[in-house]
Structures are given as C-alpha cells and as structure tokens.
Structure 1
Amino acid sequence: MSDPVHSPEGGAAETPNAPSAPVDPPKARKAFIPLECNPELMTALVHELGLSESLAFHDVFSLSDPELLGFIPRPALALLLVFPVTENYRQHRIAEDAGKEEYSKQGDGEDPVWFKQTIKNACGLIGVLHAVCNGEARNMIGGDSSLKELLSKALPLPPLERAQALEDSQELASAHKSVATRGTSTVPDAEDDVDLHYVCFVKAKDNHLYELDGSRKGPLDRGDLGDDDVLNDRAVKVVQSFIDREKESGSLQFSLVTLAPAL
C-alpha cells in the first residue's frame, strides 16, 4: 500500500471533469456535464442540495502515509474514487458481474441505498449521491431540503423508476449544472465521451464496506469493517486493489476524496 492516490509533491492528479461514457448506459435519455473531481465543488453541490454544512469532501493524498492521512477529519463516512476506464477494468467488471442478478430492493429497509445510472456522464453525481445518502451522512440531510424531498419520492421506487425520478428532478439538474460549470479544468459538453469513472465506497448498517456504482448491477459487498470508518486498513486495501489493477495498464490518473466532518 505504498502507492499514493495523488502525488504529495505535485498535488492532486490531473482529473478533468471525469465520468466515462464507455460504462454509461447506451442511448441515455439525458446527459449532464461531467463533474470535476474537486472537493470544493462537490461540497458546494451537496450543501446546495441540503446536506449539513458540518460535513464536507476532502482530498485523500495518500493511502499509506500516516502524516498525510492524519490531516483528514474522522470519521470518514464515504470515499469517492476516480479512475481510468481501461480494457483491464472492463474485463474485470464483466467477469465479476457475470451471473449476478439485477438489484431490485426498494423502500425503508434498503441498506445501502443504491442508484442506477441512466444519465450519461452522471457517474460523478451518482457517486456524490451515494456518499451522502448512506450511513451517518443520510441523517444529516436537512428536513426541508430539495434532497430530502427527492429521496422521499425516489427511495420507495424500484431501481429503474428511481433512476427516472433523478432524471425528472429539475432541482438536481440545476444544482449539478451550477457546480459542474465552475471547475478549474476545461468544461466539456454533456454529450462528450470521456475516459474516467467514479465509484463510491460507503459503510452500511451491517458494518460492511459496499462499492456503489450506478453502472453495475447493484451494490457490491467488499467485506466487514467492524467499528472502523472507510479509511481503515481493510477499506484501504479495497481501494488500493483498484489502483494496482489499473496501473498494470500504465495509467496513473487516480483521485480519491472522502466525505468527513468539515474543518
């Protein structure tokens, strides 16, 4: 676990607005401007939607350096990893998804909450929603917020209808657009094909780490975390396995952010 997610000397890796068309659903009915992997912008988005300002996103500059990890407020409630979509990754997910049934859970007992992605270039937004709608973060969504209202409509629905509720939400589209156009990198068109993708890791009520990716068949159980948060050694090993696998293809375009208490 000696490889940093970012270069501590050079700051965050280059992460232009980052979702990936190759893993988006074909013939998507709607497209969003890709969301830049920028903790400040992500924090602005979730605060606008109604998450408590006591939580914020933070860069994770290393998975192995205790000093750099020590700067991150704890507990870490969710991790968002941005990584390159390579042929190696495509083959891995095809093999892992083979034989799995499509996720069909819905309602109050669902844990973790999962959103199917049907909007092109929206994997950043879906990842952010996964981060704030699970675990302790979900309890910190304002009672009269647009996100609370959206969840009250969407969560009782099965996955496809839930995805449609996200597509139909003008509040969600407006908040996303206002943030996605403020990044430091060149803002691509919503219909552009780009080659980076987001996945989210959260801790559910059963104390297990789940990988949440709206382009997969459903949540992926990555093992028991016990009483620890999502930056403990077991969770870090899962994230590092992503990085190790994709580095085999020669790509170093990785970024990692965490949802944790605001500074």
Structure 2
Amino acid sequence: MSSENPSSKQTQRVRKHFIPLESNPEVFTELVQKLGLSDSLCFQDVLSLDEPELLAFLPRPAYALILVFPTTDKYKKRVEGEDVKLEDHQGPDDIVFFKQTINNACGLYAMLHAVCNGEARAKIDGNSILAKLLHASTTSNTDELAQALEDSKELEVAYAGVARKGDTEAPDNAEDEVDYHYTAFVKSPKNSHLYQLDGDRKRPIDLGALAADEDVLSDTCLGIIRGMVAGEDDNLNFSLMALVKE
C-alpha cells in the first residue's frame, strides 16, 4: 500500500482524509476511467529503468509516468530545501496543478496530474468528473482549484469504490500514515518541457525540454528517475507506472 508521509506544512492544510490507493495499474486504470478518461488508455507497470527488452513491451508513446517512492528523511530534507527557493504557482497555464489538501490521496493527485496534462487531456470525456475539474482549473487561484477538487462528491464516491481494491489490505483508518508517496511526470504539448507534478510540492517542477520525438519513457526522463533512486542510496522500494494506449 502506498501513500505519503506529509511535511508539517502539508499537515496544516489537510482538511480531509482518504484511504490510500495501492500502487496497482488495474486499480489506477479502473478509477481513472470511472472519472472520465477514455478506455483507450490504461496504466501499466514499468518493469525496468534501463533494460531495453523490458521497456520494449510498453506501447509508445507513453503519456505520463507515476513514480511511487519512500519518503525518507533524506528526501524530505532535500525537497524542503528546493521548495524554499521556488515561487508559488500562479496558474493557469499549459500545466494543470492540483495542490494537495486531501491526506493519503497522493495517488489520486498523481493520477489527476497524469491525465489532465499532456496529450492524455484530449482523451477525457467532455461530460465527466475530470472535465469538471479541468473547467475549474481555469482559475488563477490554486486554493480555489484545490477546494473544487476537495468538494467534488462525485470524485469522492468514485474513489471510495476502488480504494480498498488491490493485493494488499488497506488501512482501517484513513488518517493512518504510510511512508510512500506518488509523483507524476508529464510532457507539455505546448513547450515540450518535462514536468514533475506533485501536489505536496510548491509548484510544478520544470525539468527541461524533451526532443520532439521523446516521450516520458525516453532516456532523459528515466535518467532523472534513476537519479532519484540513486539519491536514496539505491533504495529498491520504488515502483513506476506508465499511462499508455490499451
């Protein structure tokens, strides 16, 4: 079971608690399709960061990646140091950014960042829950957008319908903390930049431009993720999912 161990700043602005999602492509696919993504797209496990034979099994292009990783003290200290230097996200722009205000829902936020950005956005049904969130994202106030997400009863019901599915037992109490976190990587169709999107961070993290023929499974993006793993002393408790064609 994977979720997050929020910082003290994050804890202060949490107003609601969800049961954490398991890092399971089937669970993520079921939920995101309930929310309004076309069934032509799904999540699949990425089984290797550097073995071409295993990466070749994944359909291309990949629309987004979701990384699950341990929130160690080393990681939290690094992120806090980086965020102090960043300006707040003003929005709206080509990147939709949801500030996280629901505890233990970092899997949901990563999923929303994965499908509401990049080329996947065109695969969202116009009358769906996701479409309503995209409409709300036209506000320049990130707190208003966070509140719109938090207040969506349709989203909460859809989430509750899948939150206890998967291979591991979900916590009985939604307020129980677990020590894993989700973050998404997407390519902007507007400027071809790679972004890391994490609702627990201060803003989208611009990781630089990708070539026209590169997607998020390119060596550029995978190299960044390899660096994150290496930065945690090669901790093997990482997993990765890709949003791809069914």
Give the TM-score taking structure 1 as reference length: 0.88
Residue 259 of structure 1, CA deviation: 0.3
**Number of equivalent positions:** 241
Q: Which amino acid aligns with 1:78?
A: A
Aligned-residue RMSD, C-alpha: 1.3
Q: Which residue of 2 aligns with 1:223?
A: 208
Q: Superposition pairs for residues 191-206 of structure 1, below 5 Å? A: 191-204=175-188, 205-206=190-191
Q: For residue 21 of structure 1, what is the aligned residue in structure 2?
A: 5
Question: 1:258: which partner in 2?
Answer: 242
**Superposition deviation, residue 200 in structure 1:** 0.4
Contact between 2:6 and 2:200, CA under 8 Å: does it hold in 1? no
1:114-153 equivalences under 5 Å are 114-153=97-136
CA distance, structure 1, for counterparts of residue 6 and residue 131 of structure 2: 31
- For structure 2, the residue ranges without an aligned partner over 5 or more in a row are none
Aligned-pair distance for 1:77?
A: 0.7
Distance 1:151 1:174 in 2: 18
For structure 1, the residue ranges without an aligned partner over 5 or more in a row are 1-15
Aligned to 1:156: 139
Any idea what SS the aligned residue of 1:83 has? strand
Amino acid paired to 2:219:
D
What is the match of residue 10 of structure 1? Answer: none
Identical-pair percentage: 50
- For 2:219 and 2:23, the matched residues in 1 are separated by 24
Cα distance in 2, alignment partners of residues 115 and 232 from structure 1: 25
Superimposed CA distance per residue, residues 78-137 of structure 1 (whole angstroms, 9 cap, x where no aligned partner): 00000000111012112211221111112xxx1211110011111110000000001110
Matched, 1:237 2:223: yes
Residue 257 of structure 1, CA deviation: 0.2
The answer to whether 1:71 aligns with 2:57 is yes
1:237 and 1:177 map into 2 onto residues whose CA distance is: 35
Q: Which residue is 1:38 aligned to?
A: 24
3-state SS of the aligned residue for 1:180? coil
Provide TM-score, normalisation by structure 2. 0.94
**Superposition misfits of 4+ residues, deviation over 3 angstroms:** none
2-structure distance, mates of 1:187, 1:155: 34
For the Cα contact (< 8 Å) 2:5–2:71, is it kept in 1? no
